[in-house]
Amino acid sequence: MYTPASDRYEKMKYLRCGKSGILLPRISLGLWHNFGSVDRFENMVEMVHTAFDAGITHFDLANNYGPVYGSAEENFGRILERDMRPFRDEMIISTKAGYDMWPGPYGDHGSRKYLIASLDQSLKRMGLDYVDIFYHHRPDPETPLEETMEALSDIVRSGKALYAGISNYNSEDTRKAAEILRANHTPLLLNQVNYNMLDRWTEEDGLQDTCEEVGAGMICFSPLAQGVLTDRYLKGIPEDSRAKRNFFLHESSLTPELLDKVSRLNDIAAGRGQTLAEMSLAWILRRDRVTSVLIGASRPEQILTNVKFLSNLEFTDDELAEIDSILA
């Protein structure tokens, strides 16, 4: 029987998500990798317990996380059933639809048909009556935005999701989506986007300002650039790493030039008394514009190390300038 750490809420910091009533932990756990049917179930259980013990209340999924598609949701459902069900009301569970999920014209993109059917399937796989957040996973230029947003709004109205989210939407599309949702009396809770020291498109696009203006939060995925912004690859490419095991991170992208930059960032982190993973997360949250960083992990120890960053989110101007000059 699992008993969560009694001090879990003292350990974590929470921030209001946009102008909503929801507080998100500054660090959330995503189940994109390492929760599929090919992975070890006991390790998944330990990771979810470790996260929850640390005060991480938010768990992020999508219909097609695995492999195989759907298996991360199934495994998360098994973990809930095993010993986490009593804590359901202490959790924010999200899922998404927007990428390819099933064959034929109705298992991809942004139609009302796809979103509603997909959420029904996700709820079955997880054994849930509702998710807390349901996202449209990526913009679909072929489907009228009104159709996609009205589907999200109706899903919230049906009670199958409590809040609506969008993911990978740029500033312009976020503004439009928020407007349509507002007209349907459904606030946009948050946008889930890629943002880290190596990938700053949200700053250049003005998305951070837009989220603030429309009253939405922002949660950043791949904050460690899938492990590149840690010490994982500084002494070669480990056999059990994502770069060796998964085609989403190619070994060929780990060039000597990139690794030299990462090594110099690692020195700055050491000077701050942090690991590079901690500094990479702190850099994103150094201002309160980002609600939460959405990490992945392959083992519980990574989660334990990563939450330590919360004790130092301050950067000197010199540190920020040095980081920028390394990555210029």
Ligand X SMILES: NC(=O)c1ccc[n+]([C@@H]2O[C@H](COP(=O)([O-])OP(=O)(O)OC[C@H]3O[C@@H](n4cnc5c(N)ncnc54)[C@H](OP(=O)(O)O)[C@@H]3O)[C@@H](O)[C@H]2O)c1
To the nearest whole angstrom, how small is the minimum distance from the Cβ of residue 253 to ligand X? 13
Least CB distance to ligand X at residue 36 (A): 11
210 is a contact residue toward ligand X (CB under 6 A): no
Output 86 or 273, the one with its CB closest to ligand X: 273
Q: How far is the CB of 12 from ligand X (least distance, A)?
A: 17
Question: Who contacts 40 (Cβ-Cβ below 8 Å, separation ≥6)?
Answer: none
Paired with 135 in beta bridges are 96, 165
CB of 235 to ligand X, least distance (A): 12
Question: Cα(17)–Cα(198) distance, rounded to whole angstroms?
Answer: 24
Using CB under 6 A, which residues numbered 158 to 177 contact ligand X?
167-168
Would you count residue 95 as binding ligand X (CB under 6 A)?
Answer: no
- The interface region with ligand X, picked from 117-125, 290-298, 307-315, 317-325 by CB under 6 A, is 290-298
- Using CB under 6 A as the binding rule, the residues of this chain from 220 to 279 that contact ligand X are 221-227, 230, 232, 241-242, 277
Instruction: Pick the binder of ligand X from 48, 156, 166, 294 (CB under 6 A).
Output: 294
Cβ proximity to ligand X, 169 vs 315, nearer residue: 169
Residue 122 contacts residue 65 (beta carbons within 8 Å):
no
Q: What is the phi-psi region of residue 138: left when phi exceeds 0, alpha when psi lies from -120 to 50, beta otherwise?
A: beta
Nearer Cβ to ligand X, position 12 or 293? Answer: 293
Instruction: Tell which positions 25-84 bind ligand X, by CB under 6 A.
Output: 30-33, 60
**148 makes contact with ligand X (CB under 6 A):** no
Is the separation of the CB atoms in 95 and 134 below 8 Å?
A: yes
Smallest distance, Å, CB 116 to ligand X? 20
Task: Give the C-alpha separation, 219 to 294, whole Å.
Answer: 7
Number of chain positions touching ligand X (CB under 6 A)? 29
Structure-token pair, residue 150? 């009205």
Between 6 and 272, CB nearer to ligand X: 272
What is the closest distance, in whole angstroms, from the C-beta atom of residue 73 to ligand X in the complex? 12
Residue list 174-193, contact with ligand X (CB under 6 A): 192
Under rule CB under 6 A, residue 306 binds ligand X? yes
The one segment of 172-180, 209-217, 218-226, 266-274 that binds ligand X by CB under 6 A: 218-226
Task: List residues binding ligand X (CB under 6 A).
Answer: 30-33, 60, 137, 167-168, 192, 221-227, 230, 232, 241-242, 277, 294-298, 302, 305-306
